Chains A and B, each alone.
Chain A
Amino acid sequence: MSDNVYSTICPGCNFGCGLYIRENGSLGVDFRKSSPANAGKLCRFGMSLPKFFAPAKSMIDGVETPMEEAAKESAKRISDSKGSAAFLSLGNTSNEELLAFQKIAESYLCTGVNFEALPKDTYQTISIGIPYSEIEAAKHIVLFIDPYEQYPLIVRRLLSAKNKGAKITSVWWKDLTLADENIRPDDISKLALTQDSIIIADFHPLSDTEQVKNVLSLAKNAGAKVTFLKPFANSTGEYIISKDAKQKSLAQLIEDINKGTIKTLFALESDISALIPSDTLSKLKNLIIQAGQASSAKANIVIAHEPLYMKKGTLINNEGRVQALGGSGTKGLDALGIIAGSKFDFNTLHESIKKTIGITVVDEFTIPKYDRPAYGAIQAAPKPVEKKPALIDVYNPFIWFNLADDNDFVELNLNTARALKLLKGGTLKIKSNGSALEKKFKVAPVQDNVLLTGKSLGIEKGIITPVEISR
């Protein structure tokens, strides 16, 4: 008897949290206190990883099959689709797999985000964030995120900065406990930035492009630094690898599926059910999912292999830190080789990645030097929130699949609760676009006429959805 313990990286977001996964009959999480990104600390999602890593089974049209057969059948169906196949990877796997994937996906690559709508010269700024140590040393930090809900491990870095004298300004729909100054998004003109400011925003598949431009523009005009946190385990690696590739946005992919020009979708380590409407997915002739853990989407073919913690390879976190995954598995790469028609060599891909980043060894304690080119002036026109009740989806990077989480409520302020005569422990009725639902609520210092949700309720139309609310 001997425990299998994997030193790995949390797949919850791109923060790069190190941890151990212990296999001893069941899965367990141990705290890897020497990890430079998180000192072993984990958020609610990290603590739930044993449930997240539910094993997947390879299937063809609902029938269990060996992985190789599923990959071969996928290759056939992709080939038969004659140019109507799209390839989606949100960035939840190793750089080595992503590099192999890109060779397969040349005809139609979707990374889930919309770089096409942003100026080319902002690509590097958006892709590679600044080191957390710089955030801790900042004099002024401006948040365009809710760190507690969206990227919890940044909270301790912000508190550390605050203890050293930093001022924290939040531009958000809710007062944040750690902020010295809370500005509502509609009052952005009150925001005073200097060269000593660091802006923290995020960039994800549902990001409002105009808002991203606005953040970039604010930073540019003030000479401030800006860093974008990202929601997938290897978002940074994915964007670095795909820098010169032609990319389609998620909206474009959805449109192409709806139009019928895309009939086959191959998704690599990406749970699409949270991002692509089910009626769109139902229009596909073939949905092929390659993954290391169970997915909630119903696929025609599932290519199942080892989970992330058992894989060999590297990830790049928000800071640009290159981190080794703890395992030795290359089955994901083998499957991609079957689809490509020729086997991929891990070492060749790994060396190519190191060359791209400009490193000779993978050392998680040293952040490689990246070019941080300036970008030109940007015009942005973010839409103001209408002065009537709106449901705002606080994009939660953690793909919970079917994991139970205690976040099934909306947040609203005391004025709204009193005006609607809501009862403690009771519910709130929300109507939108002909849909209606009843939700528990939490009273919080939220902007008037705003409901915040960290969980998709199924009635949203983008980030901001006008709603009617009642008791």
Chain B
Amino acid sequence: MQKGEMYVGWSTKDDVRKRGGSGGLVTSMLAAALDKKLVDAVVVLKKINEFEAVPIITSDINEVLNSAGSLHSVPSHFAKLIANRNLKVALPAKGCDVRGIIEQGKRNAINMENTFIVGLNCGGSMHPVVTREMLEVMYKIKPEDVHGEEIEKGKLIFKTKDGKENAITIDELEEKGYGRRESCRYCTIKIPTNSDIACGNWGVTGDLVGKATFVEINSEKGARLLQNAVDAGYIQVQKPDEKGVAMRTKIKGVMEGLGQKWKDKIFVPMDNRLEYFRKELEHCIDCGACKAVCPTCSCGDVSKCTEYHFRSDAYKMSMYHLVRFLHLGDACIGCGQCSDVCPVDIPLTRLYRRFANPIQLELKYEPGMDTRKPPYFEVKLNE
């Protein structure tokens, strides 16, 4: 196996195949990596209910095999979880997870040689509190009655315990303010080709639909990961058919196009930008959660944004935010975590992207998409 190859595969374990999403290939590949000591630990989501799962780092194969499948209402991020822990680890990763991990790698907080990134195709995730409200308002079903969910042909489908399927188009949901998190709507990384191996159900055809995962090997590490799982008897793979490969490319193009449309819709020019930023930030309570959760920040507690800022300052816009705007110009990956955790609901990702979009376009630099260091990252001092 080598970089550039594509396969369709599934778990050889019956229970994983039934429980895991799309044939349980990712779960089994991670378990095999642990079993054969390719890694010392694996990151998995421990499912609590349909709307909650907690990411854990584990060396327990059974914990991996029992881990959650795909959960769209769990917008977690794994980069900070594994940073500064010196682990030899494998983990599943959405596009934004991969970008965060790569940025942490550039900042020496993650050893990329010891990190096996299993990329997951991602059309977006939803905030669990918004999802619960959406179920009651739009679907007219109780969140407790939900037994599973999936996205198919532009519709978000919730299965209830009585066996019924309830579908509404994502467009309709998002028109009403529900559906995906805003940052997911304008994200254009749908197949994480920046991971070691990209996995998802797009491109699976025929009898294998819903029972297998399409994989694309993006690196030598990705090839080792897949080969290891095959050799250990955890998964079976076969070559995809041409129709599947074409379908996957088409879906990717359509999804990326939709993301770009959202980007064009949200990031329109505006009058009185200074006042806009000031108003959006005026309720900040200085909790620091946006920095703590930011997957590309590796400064720790002591950094320019925190040390230049004092709560006794009476600035209309704090130095904390001004420094972060500057730092995130070439670092923001638009993951939405800062907006998720802001206690006063400041749309921080949108604010950061307003600076980052033009800067990253101008510098032709997309953070987290490759290992290229950010422009002006290094400074040479004259002796």
Instruction: Report chain B residues within 8 Å CB of A406.
Output: 286, 310-312
Pairwise interchain contact B59-A43, C-beta atoms closer than 8 A:
no
Instruction: Report chain B residues within 8 Å CB of A156.
Output: 343-345
- In the complex, which residues 402-428 of chain A have their Cβ closer than 8 Å to any Cβ of chain B? 406-407, 409
Q: Chain B residue with minimal CB distance to A29?
A: B292
Residue A7 CB within 8 A of the other chain: yes
Count of interface residues, chain B, beta-carbon cutoff 8 Å:
45
Pairwise interchain contact A34-B58, C-beta atoms closer than 8 A:
no
Pairwise interchain contact A42-B341, C-beta atoms closer than 8 A:
yes
Residue A329 CB within 8 A of the other chain: no
A313 to B345, CA, bound (A): 31
- In the complex, which residues 322-342 of chain B have their Cβ closer than 8 Å to any Cβ of chain A? 340-342
Among listed B15-23, B49-57, B361-369, B373-381, interface-contacting one = B49-57
Pairwise interchain contact B285-A3, C-beta atoms closer than 8 A:
no
Instruction: Report chain B residues within 8 Å CB of A338.
Output: none
Instruction: Report chain B residues within 8 Å CB of A153.
Output: 343
Query: Quick one: which of A155, A160, A365 contacts B343, CB cutoff 8 A?
Result: A155
Residue A368 CB within 8 A of the other chain: no
A20 to B54, CA, bound (A): 8
Instruction: Report chain A residues within 8 Å CB of B345.
Output: 156, 159-160
Instruction: Report chain A residues within 8 Å CB of B73.
Output: 34
A153 to B58, CA, bound (A): 33
Binary CB contact string for chain A from 29 to 71 against chain B (1 if under 8 A, 0 otherwise):
1111111101111111011000000000000000000000000
- In the complex, which residues 108-152 of chain B have their Cβ closer than 8 Å to any Cβ of chain A? 127-129, 132, 143-144
Residue B254 CB within 8 A of the other chain: no
Residue B48 CB within 8 A of the other chain: yes
A46 to B341, CA, bound (A): 12
Pairwise interchain contact B41-A152, C-beta atoms closer than 8 A:
no
Instruction: Report chain B residues within 8 Å CB of A42.
Output: 287, 289, 341, 343
A456 to B129, CA, bound (A): 37
Residue A203 CB within 8 A of the other chain: no
Binary CB contact string for chain B from 79 to 101 against chain A (1 if under 8 A, 0 otherwise):
00000010000000000000000
Instruction: Report chain A residues within 8 Å CB of B127.
Output: 33, 39
Residue A178 CB within 8 A of the other chain: yes
Pairwise interchain contact A1-B59, C-beta atoms closer than 8 A:
yes
Known: A40-B341, A44-B288, A152-B285. A34 touches B52 (CB 8 A): yes
Residue A370 CB within 8 A of the other chain: no
Residue A212 CB within 8 A of the other chain: no
A44 to B127, CA, bound (A): 22
Binary CB contact string for chain B from 35 to 55 against chain A (1 if under 8 A, 0 otherwise):
000001100001011011011
Pairwise interchain contact A33-B129, C-beta atoms closer than 8 A:
yes
Known: A1-B57, A2-B58, A155-B285. A39 touches B293 (CB 8 A): no
Query: Quick one: which of A7, A24, A440 contacts B57, CB cutoff 8 A?
Result: A24
Pairwise interchain contact B285-A43, C-beta atoms closer than 8 A:
yes
Residue A367 CB within 8 A of the other chain: no
Residue A457 CB within 8 A of the other chain: no
Known: A1-B41, A2-B58, A3-B56. A47 touches B311 (CB 8 A): no
Residue A394 CB within 8 A of the other chain: no
Pairwise interchain contact A1-B40, C-beta atoms closer than 8 A:
yes
Within the complex, the shortest CB–CB distance from A367 to chain B, in Å, comes to: 14
Residue B105 CB within 8 A of the other chain: no
Query: Quick one: which of B56, B289, B340 contacts A2, CB cutoff 8 A?
Result: B56
A407 to B54, CA, bound (A): 33
Residue A5 CB within 8 A of the other chain: yes
Pairwise interchain contact A47-B283, C-beta atoms closer than 8 A:
no
Residue A442 CB within 8 A of the other chain: yes
* Cβ-closest 10 pairs across A and B: A34-B128, A34-B52, A409-B312, A41-B343, A2-B58, A442-B312, A1-B59, A39-B129, A406-B311, A3-B56
10 pairs, CB–CB < 8 Å, chain A vs chain B: A2-B57, A3-B57, A31-B289, A34-B51, A38-B343, A41-B342, A44-B286, A47-B289, A148-B283, A159-B283
